[in-house]
Amino acid sequence: MTPRKVYLDNSATTQVDRKVLEAMLPYFSEEYGNPNSLHAWGREARKGVDNARSQVAQLIGAEPKEVIFTGGGSEADNLAIKGAAWALKDKGKHIITSSIEHHALLDTVKWLGKNGYDYTVLPVDETGMADPKELEAAIRPDTILTSIMYANNEIGTIEPVAELGEVCRRHGVLFHTDGVQATGHIKIDVKELPIDMMTMAAHKMYGPKGVGALYVRKGIKLIPVIHGGGQEFGVRSGTENTPGLIGFGMAAELAANRLASGEIDNEIRLRDRLIGGLTERIPEITLTGHRTKRLPYHASICVKYVEGEGMLLLMDAAGIGVSSGSACTSGSLEPSYVLLALGLDHPTAHGSVRMTLSKDTNDEDIDYVLEKFPPIVEKLRYLSPFYKKNQ
């Protein structure tokens, strides 16, 4: 009998919404012009790109010209950090970030650190929260940029972005946030928040992969990372991925509708049902991340005495797709750096499982996971010599 299929890895990527796909299809065929061409084909493509830019801008309360399209979230992070660092190098060369940032951000900052810049990595508390007071203490006269993510991909914690941004604003420091996991899932209004730049990615919100954007507040100068034909207001060269941008725009519009309708409340209910059910059924598990200040679709735990890879593989065999931050998924002998930053010990961090819901997840899916996962944990613990020694 074919097992039920339950995909709970939406922090990794989401299924493209059918309405998004339908919006994209004409731009592979009938409307195939280069949006930089002046003829009718090009003008039609340009109209589509401009509309997509407006849709993405409206989702976050920005002006269309403040949205720079990129080839994904990682590129947008690189553009924000390198572009701002290079533009402000005469003012200073000190950057601040946190210990739980995505590799696209941390590795970019570290690369700058090898090329004449200095950086400070702020710690987080046991829930993954950065402290605005520690940020303020870390700011120096030569600090030019701070980058702290809006919400963490692995543990779901939503950072105190408003407070962090206010600290930066008081000291005249640019504030960038990686909003890849948050955009389209929680309400964000950049006009109301002290955010200077924010990274977004279409495929985290039911759009296509390989399409991203960087919100850049009006008046901020960035040095381009990619040079060429001067597209995207001269900040990001390269012929636009028109179908992908159309898909991003539609995904943004649909996300705005979901946020306005209150549909997100059901995701929170299902998330809490999942977390509560796991806690009730499985002894010695640890919820990672903040209990309430977390993404509406995000549940993440650590299971003692069990390796994450074993749980992932047996869940997959049961038709359930999840992810793990344990060593085995990355080919490293070390557990997730995010979990270690929370203060978890190595054995506990090795037993991590992340379950992230979608807009289509339902109660029957949650029931199925709560039925299948506890016996999997029990089976793996029975095979673990560490667990037996503690019985």
Active site residues: 328
Distance CA 319, CA 329 (A): 18
Token digits for 127?
Answer: 């829930």
Spatial CB neighbours of 7, under 8 Å, sequence gap ≥ 6:
15, 321, 358
Q: Please check whether residue 149 is in contact with residue 98, taking contact to mean a CB–CB distance below 8 angstroms.
A: yes
Three-state SS at 22: helix
Q: Could you give phi then psi for residue 97, rounded to 5 degrees?
A: -145, -175
Distance CA 98, CA 367 (A): 36
Neighbours of 391 (CB within 10 A): 6
DSSP per-residue codes, 101-132: --HHHHHHHHHHHTTT-EEEEE---TTSPPPH
Q: Please check whether residue 328 is in contact with residue 309, taking contact to mean a CB–CB distance below 8 angstroms.
A: yes
Distance CA 83, CA 74 (A): 13
What is the bridge-based pairing of β-strands 118-122 and 143-147? unpaired
**Ramachandran area for residue 7 (φ above 0: left; ψ -120 to 50: alpha; else beta):** beta
Return the axis-axis angle of helices 40-60 and 242-261, rounded to nearest 10°. 30
